[in-house]
Structure 1
Amino acid sequence: MTERMLQFVRLGQHQPDKRDVGVRKRDFAEIYADFDPKEAAAQSSRCSQCGVPFCSIHCPLSNNIPDWLKLTAEGRMEEAYEVSSATNTFPEVCGRICPQDRLCEGNCVIEKGFESVTIGAVERYVTDYAFEQGWVRPIRPVKERAESVGIIGAGPAGLAAADMLRRQGYQVHVYDRHDRVGGLLIYGIPGFKLEKDIVLRRWKLLEEGGVRFHLGVEIGRDETLASLRARHDAVLIATGVYKARDIGGPGAGLGGIVPALDYLIASNRKGLGDAVPAFDSGVLNAAGRDVVVIGGGDTAMDCVRTAVRQGAKSVTCLYRRDRANMPGSMREVKNAEEEGVRFVWLAAPEAFLGESEVTGVRAVGMHLGLPDASGRQSVEPEPGGHFNVPADLAIKALGFDPEDLPLHFNAAELDVTRWGTVKVDHRSFMTSMPGVFAAGDIVRGASLVVWAIRDGRDAAAAMHAYIQAHARVAVAAE
């Protein structure tokens, strides 16, 4: 071990500088500045190089974090990128949007007493530097294979699988109903967390590497699952989950109450230069309005911070649990608070007020009760704890459920769980239909991008094993 490491005893943690709040609230550019080489090396040197790297253990991708931190500290940047990208298909994305405070950094050995290593910021720096130096190149398989695979969905799971299978030499075809590649990366996550050029850059690289994209193609409308099965040696379903969870109660049908994803897609499309009539009409535009966002996850944080940038009059987030039990990233909560968002903890909506359009949300105070079967504390209403919050735009960020894929795909034989997710053998990623695999949120439910990448990579390995096994059987039969 070199003397460059274990510097946490003399160097404090330093995150990249944030842009001034007054400036960043006026645009959708990323809020964090880039590390300079000297600062990246210094922060990397704080790693303790511990024998049991809990940062790697708690990373869904099992990234070799101590290794590429050490290489960065030593200035061996190309090697650092190679190690980082060996386990992560999109390290520049994860470095920006992963909730590191709940994963790698939250489990850093030096966190207690010295503050964790700034893993996410270094990961972003390493990959951005690699792109600048031209070290990130299109895929060039050693050998082209005749077999082809079809992937339904161009989100993180589908793209991760496409990358891995193309590296094996397969002819990879990706089908997506949208007009751009990226899924939630391009349409769901705002630019202040992930600028769209980052996603478009990967799209171009995959195309240059031979991955073929069929955009504006909806399975069940333009193609059938049966036709894809006939055309390809294996098919992967990686559609994600997009069906918004609803909320009932009096006034739930009033105008001005919108799903979070509709709101975010409109904002992102507008930023990409698309015509968005629902935004231009004001239906999905927060400018000059009192905005209430209901929910406590990362999607809720995306909505409140988007509303601030659109020029909302006020932005309030209602969440039925307390701050400590919020599922979203605490780093995002802090950023939102800096930008003027008001959080009302332990508050649940009971009704929406108004005649034809929403004018407010009637909420009730909650308190945490006894733990339920999962060990999480239940929430119970406070007697007489009602209050009203003004709102002429209410955004429901309550999570997502799967669409009815057997119905949409006209594939009654595709088994789903009682939650509507696609049922798979978790060792092989195979669905109830031979040769059809599934991965990502459509299997595990709404989750993190990093888990979708992990699932896409694992599913690609399973598909490769399946195709090769069938090829050996065919050769033996001859």
Structure 2
Amino acid sequence: MAERMLQFVRLQQQTPEKRAATARREDFNEIYARFAPEKAAEQASRCSQCGVPFCQVHCPLQNNIPDWLKLTAEGRMEEAYEVASATNTFPEICGRVCPQDRLCEGNCVIEKGFDSVTIGSVEKYIVDTAWENGWIKPPTPTRELPWSVGIIGAGPAGLAAAERLRVRGFQVHVYDRYDRVGGLMIYGIPNFKLEKDVVLRRWEQYAAGGIQFHLNVAVGQDITLEQLRERHDAVFIATGVYKARDVELPGSDLNGVVPALDYLTASNRKGLGDAVPEFDDGRLNAAGKDVVVIGGGDTAMDCVRTAIRQGAKSVSCLYRRDKANMPGSMREVNNAEEEGVQFLWLSAPEAFLGAKDVTGVRAVKMHLGLPDATGRQQVEPIEGSHFVQPASLVIKALGFDPEDLPTAFNEPALPVSRWGTLKVDHKTMMTSLPGVFAGGDIVRGASLVVWGIRDGRDAAAQIEAYVKAKAKLAEAAE
């Protein structure tokens, strides 16, 4: 190990080559090139193989990161893939979209002084290599079981649960109201972070493994939750959260003031070749416009960087706190700055201006005050600091809340918290409805893809235990 690893003392951190900002502004392709094999091995060899791997501790999936880094450094790529996929259903997706600067890489023990190991880039390289070499197979079980599970939602949590249950032999049916599998991975995250082929090939792989997908099916309209409970031995709700948070300001009803998800979905659908009238007529197209995005999370970064690529005249991001307090990934903020986005720090919107169409955002400068009960500094307006930011398209990227599922599913007994998320027993992940489980964002609130994967895998284990215990009781009663 000493020969191949601990090379951080002589090798500097090096990420895969990043395309120049001027070039990447012109298309929606991923911005990083792929590691050359020798470079991937070199960067993996920088791992210190520490006794307490904080990269693993701070990964929601507790991925065995030091192990697959060592295997990559030794050129044992198929084994590296087996280790990476043992704990992660979609390592190639996490390698692309996880905020590694806040999770694994941000907690790398060599980060102070030597710069962290490029964990995400190596993870992406491992799995892309596995796809190219045919090492990734459909999730076919060794034996079929007589039980079936219905999964509502084909996003990260639903797909992770589906894969785990299918491998164990369950008959798995996934229901989704959209026409493609992937949830926000397809319609929310732009191509420059996650090219759609990466998600769509998983759909094909899972269908080949016997997972049955029922698309364009809205639970509560096309089928009821009660019918799903009758049809399946257990049901897993993994719908995610899609209700846009809003800000009630004067002028919110003006043309050109739009929610972030509508804007991103239109762009992604256009890229997939769909007919998108709202894009074609300019309502959800930033081309030639002064764009203002309100918000500071990863969704806001997706919006500003999409607007740049659509040919916006100018793109600015209005955020009421400073850069250090941005909830989004600093890596994404830096990429946006390189691409020409103007950030208006410590600025809060007060009104949208215009007669029929939006023409500007009136905002006020803020300053950080004393910490609140959570320890986060409060923001307070600075008197007399108002200004107007020109805008012909305003995108509200303020986060997402749960939809009213008891009403949507026509199931008033479905329990929700005061935040609208589904209530579950956190040990079993089951709601108060027997056999109905839930996980992902619909339980924890808007979160990361990696947490959705974690919940889906955990739920699969709980569902398996529940169904087998129920079958055992029924057998004993006969």
Instruction: Settle same-fold status: TM greater than 0.5.
Output: yes
Q: Residue 424 of structure 1 aligns with which residue?
A: 424
Q: Residue 472 of structure 2 aligns with which residue?
A: 472
Q: Which residue identity does 2:329 align to in structure 1?
A: S
Matches within 5 A, 1:16-415: 16-415=16-415
Q: For 1:198 and 1:241, how far apart are their aligned partners in 2? A: 22
Aligned residue for 1:394, secondary structure, equals strand
Q: Which residue identity does 1:365 align to in structure 2?
A: K
Q: For 2:293 and 2:71, how far apart are their aligned partners in 1? A: 43
Q: Which residue identity does 1:425 align to in structure 2?
A: D
Q: Give % identity.
A: 75
Q: For 1:125 and 1:458, how far apart are their aligned partners in 2? A: 26
Q: For 2:166 and 2:174, how far apart are their aligned partners in 1? A: 11
Q: For 1:283 and 1:103, how far apart are their aligned partners in 2? A: 37
Q: For 1:368 and 1:211, how far apart are their aligned partners in 2? A: 51
Q: For 1:236 and 1:334, how far apart are their aligned partners in 2? A: 38
CA distances 1:284-323 after superposition (whole Å, capped 9, x unpaired)? 0000000000000000000000000000000000111110
Q: Residue 5 of structure 1 aligns with which residue?
A: 5
Q: For 1:105 and 1:192, how far apart are their aligned partners in 2? A: 21
| 1:456 and 2:444 aligned | no
Q: For 2:450 and 2:385, how far apart are their aligned partners in 1? A: 39
Shift of 1:235: 0.1
Q: For 1:456 and 1:372, how far apart are their aligned partners in 2? A: 34
Q: Which residue identity does 1:131 align to in structure 2?
A: W
CA distances 1:378-427 after superposition (whole Å, capped 9, x unpaired)? 11111111111000000000000000000000000001000000000011
Q: Point out 4+ residue stretches in structure 1 off by more than 3 angstroms.
A: none
Aligned residue for 1:368, secondary structure, equals strand
Aligned residue for 1:358, secondary structure, equals coil
Q: For 2:94 and 2:273, how far apart are their aligned partners in 1? A: 25
Aligned residue for 1:223, secondary structure, equals coil
Q: Structure 1-normalised TM-score?
A: 1.00
CA distances 1:252-288 after superposition (whole Å, capped 9, x unpaired)? 1111000000000000000000000000010000000
Q: For 1:139 and 1:247, how far apart are their aligned partners in 2? A: 44
Shift of 1:249: 1.7
| 1:434 and 2:434 aligned | yes
Q: Which residue identity does 1:40 align to in structure 2?
A: A
Q: For 1:416 and 1:442, how far apart are their aligned partners in 2? A: 10
Q: Structure 2-normalised TM-score?
A: 1.00
CA RMSD of aligned residues (A): 0.6
Q: For 2:457 and 2:335, how far apart are their aligned partners in 1? A: 32
Q: For 1:138 and 1:355, how far apart are their aligned partners in 2? A: 56
Q: Which residue identity does 1:379 align to in structure 2?
A: V
Aligned residue for 1:239, secondary structure, equals coil
Shift of 1:140: 1.8
Aligned residue for 2:359, secondary structure, equals strand
Q: For 2:475 and 2:143, how far apart are their aligned partners in 1? A: 19
Aligned residue for 2:199, secondary structure, equals helix
Q: For 2:286 and 2:249, how far apart are their aligned partners in 1? A: 23
Q: For 1:281 and 1:221, how far apart are their aligned partners in 2? A: 30
Aligned residue for 2:291, secondary structure, equals strand
Aligned residue for 1:379, secondary structure, equals strand
Q: For 1:463 and 1:312, how far apart are their aligned partners in 2? A: 48
Aligned residue for 2:388, secondary structure, equals strand
Q: Greater CA deviation, 246-255 or 358-367?
A: 246-255
Shift of 1:324: 0.5
Q: What 5-or-longer segments of structure 2 have no aligned partner?
A: none
Q: For 1:318 and 1:73, how far apart are their aligned partners in 2? A: 43
CA distances 1:157-190 after superposition (whole Å, capped 9, x unpaired)? 0000000000110000000000000000000000
The total of aligned residue pairs comes to: 478
Q: For 1:345 and 1:432, how far apart are their aligned partners in 2? A: 44
Q: For 1:430 and 1:156, how far apart are their aligned partners in 2? A: 18
Q: For 2:465 and 2:146, how far apart are their aligned partners in 1? A: 15
Q: For 2:139 and 2:183, how far apart are their aligned partners in 1? A: 21
Q: Which residue identity does 2:63 align to in structure 1?
A: N
Q: Greater CA deviation, 42-51 or 242-251?
A: 242-251
Q: Which residue identity does 1:306 align to in structure 2?
A: T
Q: For 2:227 and 2:475, how far apart are their aligned partners in 1? A: 25
Q: For 2:321 and 2:160, how far apart are their aligned partners in 1? A: 35
Aligned residue for 2:5, secondary structure, equals coil
Q: For 1:143 and 1:346, how far apart are their aligned partners in 2? A: 59
Q: Which residue identity does 2:3 align to in structure 1?
A: E
Q: For 1:460 and 1:384, how far apart are their aligned partners in 2? A: 56
CA distances 1:41-79 after superposition (whole Å, capped 9, x unpaired)? 000000000000000000000000000000000001000
Shift of 1:2: 3.8
Q: Which residue identity does 2:396 align to in structure 1?
A: K
Q: Which residue identity does 1:153 align to in structure 2?
A: G
Q: For 2:381 and 2:205, how far apart are their aligned partners in 1? A: 52
Q: Which residue identity does 1:185 align to in structure 2?
A: M
Aligned residue for 1:380, secondary structure, equals strand
Aligned residue for 1:158, secondary structure, equals helix
Q: For 1:211 and 1:364, how far apart are their aligned partners in 2? A: 52
Q: For 2:140 and 2:327, how far apart are their aligned partners in 1? A: 40
Q: Which residue identity does 2:73 align to in structure 1?
A: A
Q: Which residue identity does 2:347 align to in structure 1?
A: A
